[in-house]
Amino acid sequence: MGTKARAERKQLLLFTSVILGSLALGRGEVFTSEPHVRVAENKPAKLSCSYSGFSSPRVEWKFTKGGITRLVCYNNKITVPPSKPTVNVPSSATIGNRAVLTCSEKDGSPPSEYYWFKDGIMMPSEPKGNRAFSNSSYSLNHKTGELVFDPVSAYDTGEYTCQAQNGYGTPTRSEAVRMEAAELNVGGIVAAVLVTLILLGFLILGIWFAYRRGYFDRAKKGTSSKKVIYSQPAARSEGEFRQTSSFLV
């Protein structure tokens, strides 16, 4: 029998749903009109179930194979394990200032929770209660993946990694990114101010030297316009020719 024929004969067994919730009246019941559904591979399958006796139930569909049970549908959405998270970690942060590190991934369903690691050690939610992180001051949001140092201290230098997990599949980690906590470079700021003042002094000296040499006066004389003198014609008798006007440039 060929491969295609074997594939067509292959069948999948899908299991009924599991409903979780609090009982409203007596004992809850979950039932289906088709406890076993067989479909050919690559063909659509429709599963249905009914329940009673539950108050505000949460409906989950699970798949069991080889003794392993996996959640395949949660909150009307197909579950997907988290993908490799993306992090945004500044390469350097000034001691005493605020620094924000972010972590996210878009494939996990239900949404992933995020955990941060520094130099391979998981960062606790409350740093003051842990000796390894007691000198740091930060807040960590497992839902949004945001890690905020406020303020940054010298102890915060290190390699940071973020882990995403949602309870389905294997947790995934980002690449490690190093952040350096550095003091404010006061010397560099002072040096930049001094260089700016020196350049400004040279500019003022140049303008003064040009003025003393008379460069500005020469330029002013070169642009002055020439004068034109006009004289009125003198009275003359009829038939007499005389110069009627003159111009002196």
Rounded to 5°, angle at Cα 248 from 242 and 249: 150
Task: Give the residue-averaged pLDDT of 78-99.
Answer: 93
The radius of gyration of the chain from alpha carbons, rounded to an integer in Å, stands at 43
Question: pLDDT (tens digit, 9 = 90+) per residue, 177-189?
Answer: 999 999 876 667 7
Statement: residue 157 has pLDDT above 70: yes
Architecture of the domain defined by 86-182: Sandwich (2.60)
CB 46 within 8 A of CB 19: no
Check if the beta carbon of residue 92 is closer than 8 Å to that of residue 182: yes
Domain boundaries, the chain: 29-79, 86-182
Calculate what percentage of the chain has a pLDDT beyond 90. Answer: 36
CB atoms within 10 A of CB 160: 21
pTM attached to this predicted model? 0.54
DSSP code string of 47-82: ---EEESEEEEEEEEEEEETTEEEEEEETTEE-B--
